[in-house]
Structure 1
Amino acid sequence: MSRSDQDILATLHPDCPDWRRLGPTPADAALRAQAAAVTAHAEERDESWSHGFTRRRLLAGGLGVGVAAVSNQLVTTRISWAAPGADPGGTLIVVFLRGGMDGLSVLVPADDPELLKARPDIAVRAASLINLQRGFGLHPSLAPLQPLITSGRLAAVPAVSTPDLTRSHFQAQDCLERGGAARSSVQSGWLDRVLQQLGPGTTFRGLGIGARMSRSLLGGSNPIMLTSLKNFTVKGIDGVAPQTLAALTKLYTGIDHPLGVQGLDALQASAQAQSYAKLEKPGKERGYPDGDFGAALATLAQLIKSKAGVRVATVDLGGWDMHTGLGTVDGGDMTNSLKTVGAALAAFTADLGPELDNTTLVTMSEFGRRVGQNANSGTDHGHGGVALVLGGGVKGGVHGRWEGLSQKVLDQGDVPGTNDYRDLLSEVVMRRLGLSQAQAEKVFPSWKPTPLGVMA
């Protein structure tokens, strides 16, 4: 240690007027001064923290930007149990299509004569569909997914729902993301319970891509939320020079307090994210379409390829509440939205390369739409919807019960929910993530799962 360093450690204190000479800005200087003081008086640190000394002094001096500079997307991180690069044992991604996607426009029962009667203006005609099996076809805007269909890596489940759902977006989303029937008392998210059953992992084991925490991740697992790897960093202090980051690390090291643990781990996660960001090529160069959805999947693919240990991840895409202007295959809201989905999912699966073998993605929505079109050439809130499952370990084709669209089958004008989401999701978590049936029953309480056959 140089003489100047010794002088600083021996004499400097945040209350001393000389502290400003430590950094290029007052905020940087204050953090470095505080770190020096903490290092010099380590034996007093726990007592100082317990009395609010450290944070109160910084805040009182207008320097709260210091410890608070960790971006708000870092505050939910938790300690890393395993080193990045360890075999994560597979990744499950849940894409929630918010708004109540019309399953009959996505997975179309082309041979059902009742469909054209109910939807004379908006039904997708059989000649336009991408053939699957059992008389079903996919909307032509999903044509980029043809390689997955050909290789048997895309499965679909029609008439999927959960009992007691209402036609309320909020209630239905809350119910499905808790992973129970509508009257269930379970409050944590089903993916949080998956993480609890999986046990230790890396900092990035539970991940949400976007600005909003998915209800399915809420609970004790403390997932990470981020919008991009580049932005997953400490902000607000002169670009955060290495010396300032080192000072922040010192401030959070060795503190027997939850904020100390989370603060230090946030800094470590930020450093890991920046190392992954350096390897990331622009999404456009990797085939992703413009927009937040493509960018989210590009970020997720980079983390998976970097072996960051992602076990479960969520991505949201809104805009599916199409009461008006649903359109036809030649244009309209459904065609445009499905083009985004098809292009982004195709780019994601291609980008993963060999990692696709260990990755399974599920799309779900809170409910389907009514069978009959409304007066505005759209569809209103209904019941049974459709789920798509794609990637590694998937058994391609159409799975689950389907009883047609006759009036004796419909549930007050809706597609019935003959296939329960919990059967679908429990099968995926057991086969993709290695949970036992007993563990799956803890993820979905009071439910004994019956596989639908979507996993090979």
Structure 2
Amino acid sequence: MPATVARSSSSGPDDACCGEFRSVSRRGLFVGALALAGTTTAVGSAVVTASPASAASADSVLVVLSLRGAADGLSLVVPHGDPVYYQARPRLAIPAERLLAKDAMFGLHPSLAPLLPLWESGRLAAVHATGLPAPNRSHFAAMEEVEDANPGSTVRQGWLNRLIGTDAGGSPLQGFNVGGGVIPGALFGDEPVMSAGSVDDVRIPGDDEWVSQDGRKRSLHTLWDTHPGPLGKAMRSTFSAITDFRPVQAAADNEDRYPNSDLGRALATVARVVRGDVGVQVLTVDQGDWDMHSGLGTLEWGQMLHNADDLATSVAAFMDDLGSQQSKVTLLVLSEFGRRTVENDNYGLDHGYGNVMFVAGSGVRGGAFHGRWPGLTLDDDADLLVTTDYRSVLAEIVSTRFGSSTATVFPGFTPTPVGVMT
């Protein structure tokens, strides 16, 4: 599939139950899309900047990894010091003696062992009891709210789109989604961004050995180089971005160093984009399925073992693959909400509230568990409560790594200090 350069505004679909996640793993609609020569340009109400500046190195890079389906943070970072955890999960609880990087309250799931070097070197941290201001157990509604990060707004614009909007560059290369062409909500908005499944997809389809003397490219330039209006400007911006992307395609492909999984392949692509050093500031990638109503399992079997191992092995390979660019990259890992404290009858967990977030890489105050622990309960709700609004974690990254206004990126929100960034 060719790359997508997009900006749009749309409303997310309503949803009713957990089947929503299994039927569609990523949501979003293109509005006002123009399909031309296999390259899709979605144009909203604003004008795409024409003839953006040539690609320049980014000072800071943020990679956002979304664990789709609501990962169980109480399995990934286990509150072994809270006795309710073991009461609530007689079959699923992880024995304290098996946990990694353990302190008096928390420890990491054993399958996260590949991340221990990052933790021990102070480049990985966890923030527990994070989440939305109010519970939302609908996957798509929660994803929408998390990624817009602007409660009550009727404008479809994600927080990452607002972040790159604080830079006047206006190039689609500022934001890049590694995936199947549907831009995640965090990147939706007025600023142009790109989406592709692989770096080789960033091209004009038909620009190959079967089209002699760049015939298709010449035809497209003839059509659009002097075309007035927003579509002409959008197409010229697309041509420029494709040209500026070439150093990424020339960068080494180290996919064989990663797990043979969707996440491994996606993070290999992210690392290649970063090493290409063409000015990409934010990148998004997904891992799923974390919706474990049944079969979450134990330390001997189950989905959690597989997903946690894939997550840890892929992230460890990614951080190592960054090479000389590692000092500028911060990785954020989050999910739309957590799972219930109490296990169900199917070796699984139903939708909950509070969760854990991971932050790794540059500028991280690592080797520590951050956040204020509220304590677990066995009452009717049996949810982990949220003591840290997830936007406070995002705001700390935005302010320390990009120097951007948190009031612009998170309108109407006053963040509280978290201490996860230096």
TM-score normalised over the length of structure 2: 0.85
For 1:413, the aligned partner's letter is A
The 3 A distance-change label for structure 1 pair 202 and 275 is same
Find the residue that maps to 2:365 and give its secondary structure: coil
Residue pair 1:80, 1:201 contacting (<8 A) in 2 also? no
Residue pair 1:122, 1:327 contacting (<8 A) in 2 also? yes
1:398 aligns with 2:369: yes
Name the structure 1 match of 2:232: 260
Name the structure 1 match of 2:39: 71
Name the structure 1 match of 2:129: 159
The 3 A distance-change label for structure 1 pair 450 and 241 is farther
Given candidates 376, 381, 384, the residue that maps to 2:346 is 376
Name the structure 1 match of 2:219: 247
The 3 A distance-change label for structure 1 pair 289 and 206 is same
> Higher helix proportion, which one?
1
Deviation at 1:130, TM superposition (A): 1.2
Name the structure 2 match of 1:14: none
Name the structure 2 match of 1:82: 53
Deviation at 1:205, TM superposition (A): 0.6
> RMSD of aligned C-alpha atoms?
2.0
The 3 A distance-change label for structure 1 pair 82 and 331 is farther
Residue pair 2:54, 2:244 contacting (<8 A) in 1 also? no
Deviation at 1:448, TM superposition (A): 0.8
Residue pair 2:49, 2:234 contacting (<8 A) in 1 also? yes
Pairs aligned (count): 380
| Cα separation, 1, equivalents of 2:262 and 2:269 | 10
| Cα separation, 2, equivalents of 1:411 and 1:186 | 36
1:446 aligns with 2:402: no
Find the residue that maps to 1:367 and give its secondary structure: coil
Name the structure 2 match of 1:139: 109
> Structure 2: which 5+ residue stretches go unaligned?
1-34
Name the structure 2 match of 1:427: 396
Name the structure 2 match of 1:40: none
For 1:326, the aligned partner's letter is L
Matches within 5 A, 1:89-238: 89-181=59-151, 183-200=152-169, 202-211=171-180, 212-236=182-206
| Cα separation, 2, equivalents of 1:79 and 1:292 | 35
| Cα separation, 2, equivalents of 1:314 and 1:411 | 36
State which structure, 1 or 2, has the greater radius of gyration over its C-alpha atoms: 1
The 3 A distance-change label for structure 1 pair 184 and 246 is closer
Find the residue that maps to 1:390 and give its secondary structure: strand
Residue pair 2:250, 2:276 contacting (<8 A) in 1 also? no
| Cα separation, 2, equivalents of 1:134 and 1:80 | 56
| Cα separation, 2, equivalents of 1:431 and 1:322 | 35
| Cα separation, 1, equivalents of 2:213 and 2:80 | 61
| Cα separation, 2, equivalents of 1:295 and 1:272 | 23
> Structure 1: which 5+ residue stretches go unaligned?
1-66
Given candidates 331, 352, 357, the residue that maps to 1:361 is 331
For 1:394, the aligned partner's letter is V
| Cα separation, 2, equivalents of 1:134 and 1:254 | 66
For 1:370, the aligned partner's letter is R
Name the structure 1 match of 2:32: none
> Which piece of structure 1 moves more, 127-136 or 214-223?
127-136
Find the residue that maps to 2:330 and give its secondary structure: strand
Find the residue that maps to 2:176 and give its secondary structure: strand
